Chains A and B, each alone.
Chain A
Amino acid sequence: MEKRGSIDSLGSKESSSRQPSVDSLSSTSTSRSDRSTHAAKTPYAMSSDNVSTSTEFSPELRGRPKAVAKVLRDSNKEEPQLLPKESVQDMAKDVTYICPYIGALRGTLTVTNYRLFFKCMDREPAFVLDLPLGVVSRVEKIGGASSRGEVSYGLVCKDIRNLRFAHKQMEDSLRKSIFEILMKFAFPVSNGLPTFAFEYGQVYPENGWKVYDAQAEYKRQGLPNESWRITKVNDHYELCDTYPSTLVVPVNIPDEELKRVAAFRAKGRIPVLSWIHPESQATVTRCSQPMVGVNGKRSKDDEKYLQAIMDANAQSHKLFIFDARPSVNAAANKMKGGGYESEDAYQNAELVFLDIHNIHVMRESLRKLKEVVYPNIEESHWLSNLESTHWLEHIKLILAGALRIADKVESGKTSVVVHCSDGWDRTAQLTSLAMMMLDGHYRTIRGFQVLLEKEWLSFGHRFQLRIGHGDKNHTDADRSPVFLQFIDCVWQITRQFPAAFEFNEYFLVTILDHLYSCLFGTFMCNSEQQRVKEELPKKTVSLWAYINSQLEEFTNPLYVNYSNHVLFPVVSMRHLELWVGYYIRWNPRMRPQEPVHQRYKELLAKRAELQKRVEKLQRDVTNRSASSERAGSPTRSITPVQTFV
């Protein structure tokens, strides 16, 4: 799908009235009016390498909801339209942006407390590069001052691109270079500044922080019931500080025992219910690894607890424990006090390793992938190069793991326990993917938001650490594209079941863009506890507020609600493909197309039009028969209509 970073006013009433928007993604796509189906109103243009073809639809519309019509004409300005509370920090003329696709472009660079904005007016239409500073992972000065007195800067971005600028060395050596300013605002956390999310004050019709209500979600699943209860034991995050306050546990395990189980699970992350099958009562439960250690420690409480989980499902006398790790790694964890459940200790439980690698392997894989796809694709041996990154192999393993979990729960009617080491990376991937396969609710837009809020955010996937928001330490070993992988897996499933999801590709891309943008509070912090402490719901805007304010942009027109249907994707490499619309979106040659959706929307419009006409005719007919003396053809108004096929 086309990713449009169009920029008119944010979420305001005016914006939903579909003002012409800026296509800031690729240099060419605006010209293809037939493909530019939707102009999404993103709060920023995440895209680079933009040549807005029409100067009229320039990005200057941003942040001026009340003045859209006025600014429309005003496109010759070199600085961006600002968001509420956004302010220009520095501006430099005669900066060269070395675009890997177009070549060197000279223009004006603006840095605000939120974005980097480059505009080259020499071209017709003007070239615009507009990205939130949160996307920047690293800024490096490349080489010393050249003979022409130019300094070159390279920006490594988290969204699979690198940007390169050059500009004249400051004559006034006291004055800071614009790139130093940029670094200050790109890494606010390292510089003792708040991230922009805490300043951004846009008001949306809906409070996105209210999208997820744990009680309501469990109620939807039919919980509590005779086997499962909701416990308040973690109300103040005392049992486990990386877990949410609301937990669902077996009914016959009192809180006191939960504490003893917590002592045996890494970081106190005890097995808790994530999802329950509405018919079979088989459950998906998640936790961290047991603290078995080299000596093979056992915990009677933990054993009893898992037995209780199994007993809660009368359909099966077995429990499957899925350990996401390769068995070698799981065993190696014993050296550090961790490990896995021995089948001697846990009777009726079967342990399966899913062979998914750790965050470091994934990070390395993505690094290689970036090399292969950015800026240009090597003509020869594309597939071999792709294979050598192992990215899709990892995707396959994660999907295969989730598929096995879903299969056990659905076909085997067996409850499953899922964990990795800490239970916040691979475990989150597996449970959320399996739940998405099992439960159609999570395939709707709002349901997906709930799924993310629940399995990822409330259960403590460490977004702050994994993404490194506002942190200049780009080599931090805690960074890893775990969440990106999950979204990639979701995309793969949507490819296989194009009509089973309410959301479209643009929705997924938008989530990933705002994973880095630091515009919304959604992906800030590492746990629910921290979010509460930082008062994120009060001080920041949720991404869902923005998304839900313009659902049409994110809706898959082909969606068929087969919510009761379980999806079993095919996890063969034959059906996996690289997500071109995300990883290669900066390459103008690879501009993805979405003719099917486009065509479908046309048909929907056509149907609506025809329906209207038929209704009108029917009205006319009734009217005429009512006053039949009057002669007149009701068909007068019919003009030849385009027909299809």
Chain B
Amino acid sequence: MLSSLGSAGGKSTKPSFVSYVTPEEIKSEKEHSRKEKHPDLLPGEVVFCSASTVLKYTQDDLSQRGVFGALLCTNFRVSFVSDEAPAEEMGQLFKNKLYGENDIPLSCVDNIYGGYEDKKKLLTGGLMKNKYPSKIIIHCKDLRVFQFSLTFSKEEDAKKIFQGIIHHCLEPKSLRCLFAFSYCENTSYPEMQRKKQTVMFDSVEDWTQDMKRTKGNCRLVSENRSFELSPKLPQFFIVPANVSDEDLTKYQGKGLPMWCWSHHSGCALFKTASLPLLPEDNVPQTHMEKMLTAVAHNHLYSVKTEDLSETLPTVQDIQLSYNKFKQFFLIDNTTEFWMSDMKWFSSLDNCGWLDIIRQCLQKAVEVVECLEKENTNVLIMEEGGSDLCCVVSSLVQLMLDPYYRTLLGFQSLVQKEWVVGGHAFLDRSNHLHLKDKVESQSPVFLLFLECVWQLQQQHGPAFQFSETYLTVLSDSVHVPVFTTFLFNNDSHRDSILKAESPHTQRGPLNCPTVWDWSVQFDCKAQDLFTNPLYAEKPKQDKSVRKSHRPKHLRQLSLPSSAFKTPPKKGFFKDEADSLKKILRVKRISRWMLSPSDSPQTSSSAREFYEAWQAKPLDYHGLLLPCLDGPSIRVWMQRYLRWIHDVQILGGGPVAVLSKVSEILGEVQELQRELDRHGCTLASNHKGARPRAKTAAEIASRSSVRLSSSFPFVTSRNWSFKPAIPTSLLQSLMVTGIAGNLADRADDGDDLQSMV
């Protein structure tokens, strides 16, 4: 229904109609048919408490209507089981096997509010022994919002469920309590299966392979196999060839340049946890210089360093900004939503989230420039070396190396840079709600995915994975089942999994990684992870093709003078002596400063972008993002998917994707037919792709029925009525600025012509 807008012909505005069902009615109606309802529990899942006759508000319409059902809290989730017969699940193409649309994994709970009459109060746990609010509002980390009313439940039940939810969602807990452990004890995953797909970087071979692929020429370190060198370092890693055994043991690995990726020119990207350089203490300084020399020796004796903590926002900045940003999407009611719509752009601007994304991409472009154009080794550093270093190094690799833009390549990249690279997933997401870890909570990984999304938006056909894949990956961080996101680093993972194993003699606990997507989605749903627009690298003629594909792309996207005149970059040249001298004088050469500090560097980055832009775009070559204002956008699918009022029914990107999938399906069908005809030549059957069918299937679901929030919300229970802004801004905005203009008649001659 529409509440009449602002100035409806002098009529007083009518309050929007509220349809309540009286609790008495419900109770008598439902009583007889009610029996204890449970969701289908997962292996190892235990119900802690539950309450029946809980009302879950549906936000789909403007009324305060809702559905009655039971609210449960288990060791995995908060779950609402509707009393109504489960809706036809036919539309549920994209069903998550672990949790449904009315389930909230405990780690996915972001904030809980108590609704007291008209007030909304943030709950922090540890309070209120006997009181409970009439309404619980749960904001989830995947941006869903749930509102439950406890007024119709038995007081005893209501109290129990309220306290249960508060306790299990907000109170500090031990890692052992996370659901993953009881889940894994009760399930078994064949390890080999996942091994085949994503490179896990947990073995010497994986690292050797990656170095070979990029033609890197560094030293593989396996001395940390049992974390003898440092618990902060991964089991296996790669350092510049000139790093000595002795260097490895110093400062717990701080200052040690860790190889990330080698450019085809020979130069490489390294990252490190920066050593605190105290003016009175000369020792770490000398060590740092030595390390720098080692990096420089990797290629042409040149190195550039960048301290990311000086030029990028801190993890706390990131957390603060995201906290503001996410509020725009955690919508409790429609009126609030339309109110905020008025100042949408400036609010977005003020929270700074898009700007942080831009800065990270910008930094990555600068590093790319050094590698690609100047062929200089780059060492990026920050305290800890596992937050923004991970963001920047992975972005650099995505931009430079098309392998990482494939689905498996991307997963390998996340393994390499983030999981094995030692990003403190546990602390950054604070799954355990530890009070002393509140400070370290920060969505750094999400920030990285945001940056990837921007790249993907700008260069769709370059990526094998889809927007949906990124969205799902961002959600999966908060599903406490996967080992991928549960630990702070390699040694942490190793020690916990070993300790927690129920059968120590049989080796460590075997938990699934997030890359085993079959844990969450069936094959059909997984098809939505691939991008139908992906332009696979054209296969060359067999005669021309020499080596197989996942090879590092050698073709040059930019003309680099370094190739024509090999000993480039005059200043470091061949003499290591002069290098040392320079380093001693100027401890670390910082070349990248924030744009405000040095307009020169930013204009060089601009030129770099423009030079790249002037070349023909190769989706399998270097990719650079456009960073100008309008190019950095909001990840609509992730952030708007649950908000009913902004769903474009029959529209959105899916309208295009389904069309493309459809034609792709036809192409593949024809291809198969050709192959069938050509079957006389036998074995030429590789063209039979299982994906084609589902792609066509998706398309055949008439795109008219799909909405912009596809595949996350199915529109089955939505009305086809348009959402009309409930509070249009009357003259509010213009009167201030345009003043007399607004009052003027439309036409200059109005006064004369109108009698």
| A interface residues with partner B (beta carbon < 8 Å) | 27-28, 31-35, 266-267, 291, 321, 323, 326-329, 332-333, 336-338, 340, 343, 350-353, 355, 357-361, 364-365, 377-384, 386-387, 390, 392-393, 396-397, 400, 403-404, 406-407, 411, 420-422, 425, 476-478, 496-500, 558, 560, 562, 565, 567-575, 577-578, 580, 584, 587-591, 593, 595-596, 598-600, 603-604, 606-607, 610-611, 613-614, 617-618, 621, 633-635, 638, 640-645
Contacts and interface: CB of A to CB of B under 8 A. Distances in A.
Contact of B724 (A332, A358, A403, A596): A403
Contacts of A397: 728
Contacts of A500: 650-651, 655
A478 B747 contact: yes
Given A336-B751, A364-B741, A645-B530, A558 B659 contact: yes
Interface of B: 2, 4-11, 337-338, 341-346, 348-350, 354-355, 458-461, 464, 530, 532-536, 538-539, 541-542, 595, 609-610, 613-617, 626, 628-631, 633-634, 636, 640, 645-653, 655-656, 659-660, 663-664, 666-668, 670-671, 673-674, 677-678, 680-681, 687, 689, 691, 695, 703-704, 708, 720-725, 728-731, 733-734, 737-738, 741-748, 750-751, 753-755
A360 B745 CA distance: 8
A595 B534 CA distance: 10
B539 A642 contact: yes
Max count, chain A CB within 10 A of own CB: residue among B628, B681, B748: B628
B646 A358 contact: no
A627 to B, nearest CB: 17
Query: Lowest 9 A-B CB distances belong to which pairs?
Result: A382-B629, A351-B9, A568-B722, A610-B670, A327-B7, A387-B345, A573-B344, A383-B349, A635-B678
B648 A496 contact: yes
A191 B542 CA distance: 69
A584 B724 contact: no
Given A329-B743, A599-B660, A600-B663, A572 B650 contact: no
A420 B746 contact: yes
A551 to B, nearest CB: 19
B617 A35 contact: yes
A422 B533 contact: no
B277 to A, nearest CB: 32
A596 B458 contact: no
A606 B668 CA distance: 10
A323 B721 CA distance: 22
Contacts of B614: 27-28, 31
B668 A358 contact: no
Contacts of A645: 464, 530, 532, 534, 536, 664, 668, 689, 691, 695
Contacts of A406: 722
26 contacts: A32-B616, A336-B745, A337-B754, A353-B5, A360-B738, A379-B595, A379-B628, A382-B628, A407-B724, A425-B746, A476-B748, A562-B704, A570-B647, A572-B645, A572-B725, A593-B459, A595-B461, A600-B656, A603-B664, A614-B670, A617-B674, A621-B677, A635-B677, A644-B535, A645-B534, A645-B689
Contact of B349 (A338, A381, A591): A381
A590 B630 contact: yes
Given A360-B741, A421-B745, A560-B659, A593 B349 contact: no
B6 A353 contact: yes
A603 B655 contact: no
Contacts of B670: 607, 610-611, 613-614
B414 to A, nearest CB: 22
A606 B645 contact: no
B664 A596 contact: no
A383 B345 contact: yes
B748 A580 contact: no
Nearest to A617: B677
A422 B733 contact: no
A633 B626 contact: no
Contact of A595 (B8, B341, B533, B724): B533
Contacts of A641: 671, 674
Contact of A643 (B9, B344, B536): B536
Given A358-B746, A558-B659, A400 B724 contact: yes
Max count, chain B CB within 10 A of own CB: residue among A499, A567, A600, A614: A499
Given A390-B734, A499-B659, A607-B666, A377 B349 contact: no
A336 B296 CA distance: 80
Contact of B728 (A355, A478, A596, A644): A355
A613 B674 contact: yes
Nearest to A397: B728
Given A364-B738, A498-B655, A644-B668, A599 B533 contact: yes
Contacts of A560: 655, 659, 703
B651 A34 contact: no
B660 A574 contact: no
A319 B162 CA distance: 50
Contact of B746 (A421, A497, A558): A421
Contact of B650 (A422, A476, A562): A562
Nearest to B723: A570
Given A357-B742, A422-B747, 5 more contacts: A328-B731, A357-B734, A498-B651, A588-B613, A640-B539
A326 B458 contact: no
Contacts of B6: 327, 353, 355
B158 to A, nearest CB: 36
A291 B721 contact: no
Contacts of B659: 499, 558, 560, 600
A365 B653 CA distance: 30
Nearest to A381: B349
A33 B614 CA distance: 11
B741 A411 contact: no
Nearest to A323: B9
B343 to A, nearest CB: 7
Contacts of B677: 614, 617-618, 621, 634-635, 638
B664 A360 contact: no
Contacts of B533: 595-596, 599
B655 to A, nearest CB: 4
A400 B349 CA distance: 24
A607 B743 contact: no
B346 A383 contact: yes
Given A336-B750, A351-B9, A595-B459, A569 B743 contact: no
A638 B691 CA distance: 23
B613 A589 contact: yes
Given A343-B9, A350-B9, A383-B629, A497 B650 contact: yes
A570 B648 contact: yes
Contacts of B344: 387, 572-574
Given A377-B629, A640-B539, A642-B539, A361 B741 contact: yes
Contacts of A404: 2, 5, 724
Contact of A478 (B663, B748, B755): B748
Contacts of B750: 336, 421
A384 B743 contact: no
B644 to A, nearest CB: 10
A407 B342 CA distance: 22
A390 B664 CA distance: 42
A643 B687 contact: yes
Contacts of A350: 8-9, 11
Contacts of B345: 383-384, 386-387, 392, 573
A615 to B, nearest CB: 10
B631 A383 contact: no
Contact of A422 (B458, B459, B613, B746): B746
B650 to A, nearest CB: 6
A351 B10 CA distance: 9
Contacts of B689: 643, 645
B7 A355 contact: yes
